[in-house]
Chains A and B, each alone.
Chain A
Amino acid sequence: MSVPGSAPVPPPGGETPGDRVVLDAEDISRALTRMAHQILEANRGADGLVLAGIPSRGVPLAHRLAAAIAAAEPGSGAGSVPTGALDVTMYRDDLRSQPTRAVGPTRLPVSVDGAVVVLVDDVLFSGRTVRAALDALGDLGRPRAVRLAVLVDRGHRQLPIRADHVGKNLPTAADERVLVRLAETDGVNEVRIVRPGGAPTRREV
């Protein structure tokens, strides 16, 4: 029952031909701060917000967003925006096309019924992950509204899905790969574009 984890990633820092860093740690941090403000503005405050990160990298991003929201609105109770993880593995439409996938945790500290759930993920690409997340969320309850926040929107949508809050729009070729690495999961904060033939990356959907 061997289940592959994340595919190997190139070592942090260095650049190889066909492989460039497009966001560094500071860029990521600025983007998240901006997104936090946008979320607060769109929601007119933090009331009723629930942040649901999609494993694996959406989860630390959701927690960082929660921290940014708390920093943006100190003393407003925003320091305790309920934040958790929403695993979508079992809802994917491509389970049958690869070995059994590892399932991540689903942990939301509060009920999603009536809440404004912000789905948080690292990269928005085909939109299929978000589609799966909407289904997964529907089985947990009935949110008042669902919003989508992504660090990077790289285009090439295959479904009618659009992000509400985007850290960075990144035009890419379809065969390029966008690699988000975070200190919590990868030991470094950066976003890279890897050209075809470059280092292998985890599969993006």
Chain B
Amino acid sequence: MRHLLSAADVDAATANRIFDLAEEMADVQNRPVKKLPALRGRTVVNLFFEDSTRTRSSFEIAGKWLSADVINISAKGSSVSKGESLRDTVQTVAAMGVDAMVIRHAASGAPWQAAQWTRAQIVNAGDGTHEHPTQALLDAFTLRRHFRAAANGGSTGTDPFAGRTVAVVGDITHSRVARSNVLLLTTLGVRVVLVAPPTLLPSGVETWGCEVTGNFDAAIAEADAVMMLRVQRERMSGGYFPTPREYTVGYGLTRDRVAALRPGTAICHPGPMNRGLEISADAADAANSLVLDQVAAGVAVRMSVLYQLLGGDDAWVSQGGQG
């Protein structure tokens, strides 16, 4: 594939290939020399129009451990107010001879537009309230490990996602993590249940191929994993729900709900967490919390993605990946 714009760009076979390689990359992180030479001579620009130290660092390390030259450009506030268009910014960066751009933007769709304006390969590192495909990949990678370990002591024989149910809980409307996770998890055969107050459910959600409920407790009883979404501060006063307290009672992963989880049910959160709001301290620090595993998986999964995109020849890549 030429770009990674959407989790929908990834089919099940590709996802599993990314995960398999990510396992190898995770091993590399335990070696004395963490660097692999695969992307020597490639230049990757982290073009961040919105701050995200976490995601940017993760991509930066991933690129560097594959020996790419990684340059960080913070383009925050460079566009509309200063009169420079997104196209100008993207083409200026492209003119420096970069092979790939990892783009984070506060506006939905910016990576799609960038892909129209440059020959560089584009990785979507989060666009507005739309998608965050590498987060979905690392979430699914973390879940794959967890499900495999739970199923049969780590055997890789059976499909770890078959018959699994994942509850995604919180502000679906404004969550790029939710959109990408729904796309990827359903591709992998997971039954996805969205749990949210109706004010935080996007229009058309009934066409997404997942189930929707307002009853978190019922969803918990069936879930093999619960994925909690961060409640953005600006939504709290936006009239989407009356008070944080009421939100927590309805949609928070409280101590009582942790106790009601089935044994082995994983707890995920893309971070940063609002402890006490959408997730209690008991949940965040529970034995079956995968929150830190998710962070740890970030670099390995992003190494795998960068290798898949940039590891081959340019000609093949520009032909749309017909191998």
Contact = CB atoms under 8 A, between A and B. Distances in A.
Query: Are chains A and B touching in the complex at the 8 Å CB cutoff?
Result: yes
B313 A99 contact: yes
B202 interface: no
Given A1-B14, A3-B17, A100 B314 contact: no
Contacts of B311: 90, 95, 100-101
A84 B18 CA distance: 22
Nearest to A102: B17
Contacts of B323: 2-4, 99-100
B255 to A, nearest CB: 41
B24 A98 contact: no
A135 B316 contact: no
A149 B120 CA distance: 42
B4 to A, nearest CB: 8
Most buried by B among A101, A106, A139: A139
B32 interface: yes
A200 B100 CA distance: 34
B18 A90 contact: no
What's the dominant secondary structure at chain B's contact region? loop
Interface residues of B, number: 28
Interface string A27-70: 00000000000000000000000000000000000000000000
Given A1-B308, A91-B37, A100-B308, A106 B24 contact: yes
B312 A100 contact: yes
Interface in A128-183: 135, 138-141
Interface in B1-15: 1, 10, 14
Interface in B274-309: 307-309
Interface string A1-35: 11110000000000000000000000000000000
B249 interface: no
A73 to B, nearest CB: 31
B312 A96 contact: yes
What's the dominant secondary structure at chain A's contact region? loop
A90 B31 contact: no
Given A1-B14, A2-B323, A90-B38, A95 B312 contact: yes
Contacts of B33: 138-140
B209 interface: no
B18 A139 contact: no
Contacts of B31: 139-140
Nearest to B321: A2
Nearest to B310: A100
Contact of B307 (A90, A97, A139): A90
A103 interface: yes
Contacts of A135: 37
A98 B319 CA distance: 12
Contacts of A79: none
Most buried by B among A87, A90, A140: A90
* A-B CB proximity, top 6 nearest: A100-B312, A90-B38, A139-B33, A99-B323, A100-B311, A99-B316
